[in-house]
């Protein structure tokens, strides 16, 4: 029967057979890890699952932990687990490799975990804070003195600026050669 080899995963796919090589699982993402990293992963997953109701799922190269939105994810690497935690503030600590603002209210914190013993305070505290923060309502847009919300669109401000700008009556200078 004719078929083809998937150019992504190199698996043979028969004609008419459903194939989705982008679908991944936690097991597939963690099977290549060392014993120390597997222990760290299991402790991290157990700790997060203990916070309460949430979705835990694999997506591309990451394992996501979400309530209404993702509050942290783990990217298994060859020698460490890259943990990205979304908080409402910037944390400065030796464990935090990098902190980047991802929106007006969220800051992503990149942390590398290499051993099971690293999955304790303060990391667990930050994960729990992110879990709680993920369900907080977003702040409303600030209102102006007239009670209307300010326009934040660049196009709107450019149009109003062009419309209200008057042409100068002063002659333009030319350079002499």
The helix-helix angle for 35-49 and 123-133 (nearest 10°) equals 40
Please name the residue that has the structure tokens 């997506």. Answer: 59
pLDDT, one tens digit for every residue, the chain (177 residues)? 577 777 667 778 787 777 666 667 888 899 999 999 999 999 999 999 999 999 998 888 899 999 988 999 999 999 999 999 999 999 999 999 999 999 999 999 999 999 999 999 999 999 999 999 998 877 665 555 555 555 555 555 455 555 555 555 555 666 665
- Nearest 5°: the CA angle 28, 79, 131 is 70
pTM beyond 0.75: no
């Amino acid at each position: 029967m004719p078929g083809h080899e998937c150019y992504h995963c190199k698996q043979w796919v028969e004609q008419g057979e459903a194939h989705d090589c982008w679908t991944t699982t936690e097991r597939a993402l963690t099977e290549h890890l060392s014993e120390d990293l597997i222990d760290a992963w299991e402790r991290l997953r157990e700790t997060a699952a203990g916070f309460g109701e949430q979705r835990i799922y694999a997506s591309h190269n990451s394992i996501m932990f979400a309530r209404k939105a993702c509050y942290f994810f783990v990217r298994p690497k060859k020698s460490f687990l890259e943990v990205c935690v979304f908080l409402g503030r910037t944390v400065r600590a030796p464990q935090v490799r990098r902190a980047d603002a991802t929106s007006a209210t969220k800051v992503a914190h990149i942390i590398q975990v290499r051993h099971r013993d690293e999955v304790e305070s303060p990391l667990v505290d930050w994960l729990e804070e992110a879990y709680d923060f993920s369900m907080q309502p977003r702040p409303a847009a600030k209102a102006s003195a007239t009670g209307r919300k300010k326009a934040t669109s660049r196009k709107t401000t450019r149009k109003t600026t062009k419309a209200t700008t008057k042409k100068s009556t002063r002659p333009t200078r030319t350079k002499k050669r």
